[in-house]
Amino acid sequence: MMTSRLHSSRAAVADVIALLQSRTQPLPGEVVSLARAADRILYTALVSPINIPHFAKAAMDGFAVRAADTSGASRASPRRLRCVGEAKPGDPFVGRVAAGEAVRISTGAPVPPGADAVVMRECTQVEENQEVVVYEAVSPGKHILAIGEDVQQGQEVLPAGRRLRPQDLGLLAAMGFGTVQVVRQPQVAIVVTGNELVPAGQPAVGFQTVDCNSPMLAALVERDGGRVHAIDRVADERSALRQCVHHLVSAVDVILMIGGTSAGSDDYSAQVVAELGELPIHGVAVRPGAPVGIGWLRPGLPVFLLPGQPVACLWTYDLFAGGVIRRLAGRAWEWPYRAITRPLAQEILSVHGRVDYVRVQLRGDRVYPLNRGGASNLSTAVIADGFIVVPAERDRLEPGESVDVYWYDPA
């Protein structure tokens, strides 16, 4: 059990991230149906149990032939073959193609024994006596998908750690898989504290405030590969908060607590976490969100004490909690934002040793910081194109210098 570090020395962002990375690893695997596997992370490498295709099939509509029978064929000097039957997908030709014979064939149909090439329909003409006039010479294997041409039996098709795309699921189905083992999604509880808060969709009366943080966090959790286990709203009462947290310890993989992170008389979040587990971080050299706390209620169960101010909540989630949830889900630690580099239009002042989060807009090819950047003004993150980060080793960014803008919208 450890005590709070709030209002003592604030932890460096780099040290906090290093601590989180050292104590976080992907969750074990679980088996899900292909219908639920999109965008999930493959737990183990997949090896194909079969050849695809497992029989030679036509890649074109036309005629299955012996390639030697078409040697020298052209418009000026066609070859004539006798059509002896037809092959369709799932309905093969029964028999063997002999010299001088052809079998009408559809795309995807099995190539009959004896044939070793397909002549495209456009290069043939069928006469009334069922003779096939061939105007093109083909080489052996032409317009045929060979056994194992797409995937060979025993071939590693998808590596462990791959984020499954729709086409991956199609190939898994082709290989005969109906289920797949993926990294288990972390179950995340969101605990909202504050007597003044009312749920989204309910009007605020008097001096109440609508809870805008939990819908935002729920969307971020889903984006990062987690699943929201529950959203619990708890009054500013120590025993109630302790009971809520105690109930969640065995049910979830991550807890996000909103509010109660400061040092006021009703700020119980840090006290409860320190009592039930450990709170090695309480106070970080970051703006906004300096009172953020990070602890563990048991090994493998991190808890994040996020500020109630919406922008600070958004930023500290992205800076600390998001990476943990992504790694638990088997994803990359790094932000899921694309970055572009552009010149800064105006000076930005900071404090050496502190990491600053600055919402910005891109106008032309220059980056403009938003002037009304308070931690409570969530609209600044809505109208912003993205954000830049002032690193701890800088106390200002100069006009004209190139900065990395992390784009809120996906590519």
Digit-coded pLDDT (tens) for 347-358: 999 999 999 999
Specify whether 193 is located in the same domain as 287: yes
| Three-state secondary structure call for residue 261 | coil
Specify whether 278 is located in the same domain as 394: no
Q: What are the tens digits of pLDDT across the range 320-367?
A: 999 999 999 999 999 999 999 999 999 999 999 999 999 999 999 999
Specify whether 304 is located in the same domain as 369: no
Q: What is the pLDDT of residue 335?
A: 96
Specify whether 275 is located in the same domain as 218: yes
Q: Is 16 exposed, middle or buried (0-12, 13-18, 19+ CB in 10 A)?
A: buried
Specify whether 316 is located in the same domain as 366: no
Cβ(400)–Cβ(367) below 8 Å = no
Specify whether 207 is located in the same domain as 312: yes
The arithmetic mean of pLDDT across residues 243-270, rounded, is 86
Residues with Cβ within 8 Å of 211's Cβ and at least 6 positions away in sequence, in order, are: 192, 194, 197, 198, 199, 200, 233, 258
- What does pTM read for this prediction? 0.89
Residues with Cβ within 8 Å of 136's Cβ and at least 6 positions away in sequence, in order, are: 70, 73, 74, 119, 120, 123
Q: How does the average pLDDT of the chain come out, rounded?
A: 93
Cβ(372)–Cβ(361) below 8 Å = no
| Three-state secondary structure call for residue 405 | strand
User: Which of 24-28, 177-181, 202-206 has the weakest average pLDDT?
Assistant: 202-206
Specify whether 282 is located in the same domain as 296: yes
Specify whether 303 is located in the same domain as 231: yes
- What are the two backbone dihedrals, phi and then psi, of residue 158, each rounded to the nearest 5 degrees? -130, 125
- The answer as to whether 333 is a domain residue is no
Residues with Cβ within 8 Å of 396's Cβ and at least 6 positions away in sequence, in order, are: 347, 348, 349, 350
Strands of the sheet with 117-120, listed across from one edge: 117-120, 62-65, 101-105, 79-87, 131-134, 124-126
Cβ(171)–Cβ(60) below 8 Å = no
Q: Is 34 exposed, middle or buried (0-12, 13-18, 19+ CB in 10 A)?
A: middle
Q: What are the tens digits of pLDDT across the range 52-64?
A: 999 999 999 999 9
Specify whether 303 is located in the same domain as 390: no
Find the CATH number of the domain harbouring 280. Answer: 3.40.980.10
Q: What is the pLDDT of residue 5?
A: 43
Number of domains in the chain: 4
Specify whether 112 is located in the same domain as 166: no
**Angular region, 228: left φ>0, alpha ψ -120 to 50, beta rest:** beta
Q: What is the pLDDT of residue 4?
A: 43
* Identity of the amino acid at 198: V
- What are the two backbone dihedrals, phi and then psi, of residue 361, each rounded to the nearest 5 degrees? -120, 150
pLDDT band at 268 (very low <50, low <70, confident <90, very high): confident
Q: Tell which residue, 299, 266, 301, 121, has the closest CA to residue 193.
A: 266
Range of the domain at 352: 338-407
Q: What is the pLDDT of residue 393?
A: 97
**Whole-angstrom Cα distance, residue 92 to residue 103?**
10
Question: For a pLDDT cut of 70, what percent of the chain falls above it?
Answer: 96
Specify whether 178 is located in the same domain as 35: yes
Q: What is the pLDDT of residue 373?
A: 63
Q: What is the pLDDT of residue 260?
A: 72
